[in-house]
Chains A and B, each alone.
Chain A
Amino acid sequence: MKYVDEFRDGKLARGLTRALHAAVRPDRHYRFMEFCGGHTHAIARYGIEGLLPENLHLIHGPGCPVCVLPIGRIDSALELALERRVTLCTYADVMRVPASGRMSLLQARAHGADVRMVYSTLDALRIARAEAEREVVFLAIGFETTTPPTAAAIRQAAALGLENFSVFCNHVLTPAAIASILESPEVRKLGTVPLDGFIGPAHVSTVIGSQPYEFFAEEYRKPVVIAGFEPLDVMQAILMLVQQVNEGRSEVENEFSRAVTVTGNEKAKALVAEVFELRRSFDWRGLGTLPYSALRIKQAYRAFDAETRFALGYCPVPDARGCECGAILRGVRRPTECRLFGTVCTPENPIGSCMVSAEGACAAHYTYSRGDARRERRVS
């Protein structure tokens, strides 16, 4: 496949591996957090960790939209589907996350709820138009990448005057999550999560640009290298981070220059600004309640806000006992350090959200990396 295979080339990977091994200083450790679940997935799927020097460590970040969605919000979605009997449309991974009482949207479906998997917001709109007698709710989740399509759907619904369509908005913001990690006691004071830099998000950055990360590079002295989701992108970004650390620099660099600009996608940002506004605070799984970290639908489009239409409340729900998703999302623990990992919590029977999505640290580790002797040794 053109424009894909080039970024998965084994020969180039070997060259980058050699360069990385030559670049790292043997007298220190390097610890980089890949913020995005997309990177976590690529790292596991292509076996990238096995190519890295022994003293270079990758820490999985919280950038998996399904993982950070708190149980209470899924409970609300379940209420919509099971009690309000709406047609609930959402992306596939969300359907498997267990909420209160281990009920998931997939199980709700087996109990007669009308939950449908869609590939895009437009599918949900199409369903609403075709089935005018049904109340259709799109369960919107995700970071800045998936926000513009939701905004577009709401605007289109308004233009069409669709009365049976609304959005249950759970869109969250990347910079807020990065700030929360950098401000966490583990990173700031305790030093239990030594962080030398970030692999910056790929798709998120195509929308917001590289500018928002400059604050982190300057204020917290952490280098950020924005990287594409292909394995060579990730390798190259790691090399760039090592070079920054070696040279004592903390800058925002853009490895993904084929898609990311400094200011991002102005049109998408304008669309989002037209439809959404900041929420005063939002509950994140793992990271807690973060101020101004999520979006809600503006007054002008309130007619399409499922939270208002169905007067949805929010009730925080603690993680299942023993589940370490919170610590894993903050980078404090690795998946294999959770007692539930691979025992009672597996992709078939997930206890926590990190085991659900292919982008979740636990699922990626379980699916792709269990056979890796090096990583098993490292955690034991």
Chain B
Amino acid sequence: MDGATKTAYLRPLDVRHGRVDLSHGSGGRAMAQLIEQMFVRAFDNEWLRQGNDGACFPLPVGRVVMATDSHVVSPLFFPGGDIGCLSVHGTINDVAMAGAQPLYLSASFILEEGFPLGDLQRIVESMACAAREAGVAIVTGDTKVVQQGKGDGVFITTTGLGVVPEGVQVAGDRARRGDAILLSGPVGDHGVTVLSMRANLGFTTSLLSDTAPLHRLVAEILSVAPDIHCLRDPTRGGLATTLNEIALQSGVGMVLREDAIPVRREVAAACELLGLDPLYVANEGKLVCICPAERAAAVLHAMQANPLGSGAAIIGEVVEDARCFVQMETAFGGRRMVDWLSGEQLPRIC
């Protein structure tokens, strides 16, 4: 072989000891290698393999939903998940909350110089696994590297596309007086789990993050009740903030029953200790469904039949209230407001 036809030797990525350096974001060979050996290998699909700047794909007929979500969680790895699967689930869920079937994702990475390639590999594999399980393809992406100290390991932004089945009309402004409010399971697991990992708090729990893709649960709900009004996943700001958002969008009030809202004992105990309210703590695998009262039983049944909704409950109802207040009958027997979250309860939870 003469020099002109010989392929230059490229040392394989040293995943065990290697670290991200500035060349991995420079657009040169090192970046191409990272993309090829790390991302394309893990996410493997026909669109990525084509190696184009953008992915070109057909979409089924219908209304298309697009959602995007950035992930900055700290720590990157936590019981029950990591920033990788979280970034896939987060965007799938945003697409699913429009009643859509998620189909494609993009993934954009901001890496900090010095970040261990081994950790990156774990994260990328976790994303690949989450996408495969959810039946969604990561079809395009981007990688940038910032100098040490200018980032915090890795930030991931994902964007998702999905298509809404015909006849489904789910939106935050469709809650109506008399509607039932359903919750798919206990609240606060993700937030408390991540918080328990923070070095300065020094408490441990047996809790796992609830991070999970909810689109199949949504499809099952829609199959028994295609006329549900609202779906939303109570992530940052928790259940309380999500319900306030819907109340405001729909111009209605809500009355919840505190004793109907499922909260795990560990979450309740940790919140008690830290002065937090579980209603404001983030979830990554729960949804709120608002539907006509006569559909509530069917929706509840459908939710409970899915492992991701096994702890589902009807937690309250939509009422007329021009002030758009969310109120709660306390387990104690009184009544109080459930206000928007004010300030930042837990920074960088997702």
B337 at interface, CB cutoff 8 A? yes
Q: A1-B269, A347-B342 are in contact. Are A44 and B336 (CB under 8 A)?
A: yes
B348 at interface, CB cutoff 8 A? no
B323 contact set on A, CB distance < 8 A: 370-371
Q: A119-B200, A348-B342 are in contact. Are A370 and B265 (CB under 8 A)?
A: no
Contact at B333–A17, with CB atoms within 8 Å? yes
Q: How far is the CA of A368 from the CA of B335 in the complex (A)?
A: 9
Q: Counting chain B CB atoms within 10 Å of each CB, which of A14, A45, A366, A371 scores highest?
A: A371
B332 at interface, CB cutoff 8 A? yes
Total residues of chain A contacting the partner, CB 8 A: 32
> Which of A13, A118, A348 is B333 in contact with, Cβ under 8 Å?
A13
A366 contact set on B, CB distance < 8 A: 339
B274 contact set on A, CB distance < 8 A: 119
Contact at A51–B336, with CB atoms within 8 Å? no
For the side of the interface on B, what is the size category? 20 to 34
Q: How far is the CA of A367 from the CA of B325 in the complex (A)?
A: 11
B184 at interface, CB cutoff 8 A? no
A322-365 CB contact bits vs B (8 Å, 1 = yes)?
00000000000000000000000011100000000010000000
Contact at B200–A118, with CB atoms within 8 Å? yes
B58 at interface, CB cutoff 8 A? no
A96 at interface, CB cutoff 8 A? yes
B268 at interface, CB cutoff 8 A? yes
Contact at B332–A347, with CB atoms within 8 Å? no
B335 contact set on A, CB distance < 8 A: 47, 50, 371-372
Contact at B200–A231, with CB atoms within 8 Å? no
Contact at A46–B334, with CB atoms within 8 Å? yes
> Which of A46, A348, A370 is B325 in contact with, Cβ under 8 Å?
A370
Contact at B325–A47, with CB atoms within 8 Å? no
> Which of A8, A47, A346 is B336 in contact with, Cβ under 8 Å?
A47
Contact at B339–A367, with CB atoms within 8 Å? yes
State which residues 5-35 of B face A: CB under 8 Å: none
Interchain nearest-CB distance for B294 vs A (Å)? 27
Q: How far is the CA of A118 from the CA of B200 in the complex (A)?
A: 8
- Please give me the residue from chain B that is nearest to A49 by CB atom: B334
Q: How far is the CA of A315 from the CA of B76 in the complex (A)?
A: 45
B327 at interface, CB cutoff 8 A? yes
Interchain nearest-CB distance for B169 vs A (Å)? 30
B339 contact set on A, CB distance < 8 A: 347, 366-368, 370
A123 contact set on B, CB distance < 8 A: 200
B327 contact set on A, CB distance < 8 A: 371
A369 contact set on B, CB distance < 8 A: 336-337
Q: A47-B330, A47-B332, A347-B343 are in contact. Are A368 and B337 (CB under 8 A)?
A: yes
B272 at interface, CB cutoff 8 A? yes
B191-233 CB contact bits vs A (8 Å, 1 = yes)?
0000000001100000000000000000000000000000000
A10 at interface, CB cutoff 8 A? yes
Q: A119-B200, A367-B337 are in contact. Are A231 and B332 (CB under 8 A)?
A: yes
B259 at interface, CB cutoff 8 A? yes
Contact at A10–B272, with CB atoms within 8 Å? no
A22 at interface, CB cutoff 8 A? no
Q: A1-B265, A4-B272, A368-B337 are in contact. Are A46 and B342 (CB under 8 A)?
A: no
B331 at interface, CB cutoff 8 A? yes
Q: A1-B269, A119-B201, A371-B325 are in contact. Are A14 and B342 (CB under 8 A)?
A: no
Contact at A10–B331, with CB atoms within 8 Å? yes
Q: How far is the CA of A13 from the CA of B334 in the complex (A)?
A: 9
B334 contact set on A, CB distance < 8 A: 13, 46-51, 231
Interchain nearest-CB distance for A302 vs B (Å)? 29
Q: How far is the CA of A377 from the CA of B201 in the complex (A)?
A: 44
> Which of B200, B269, B325, B333 is A51 in contact with, Cβ under 8 Å?
B333
Q: How far is the CA of A248 from the CA of B249 in the complex (A)?
A: 54
Known: A44-B336, A371-B336, A372-B335. 7 other contacts (CB 8 A): A1-B272, A47-B330, A50-B334, A231-B332, A347-B343, A368-B337, A371-B327
Interface residues of B (CB under 8 A from A): 200-201, 259, 265, 268-269, 272, 274-275, 323, 325, 327, 330-337, 339, 342-343
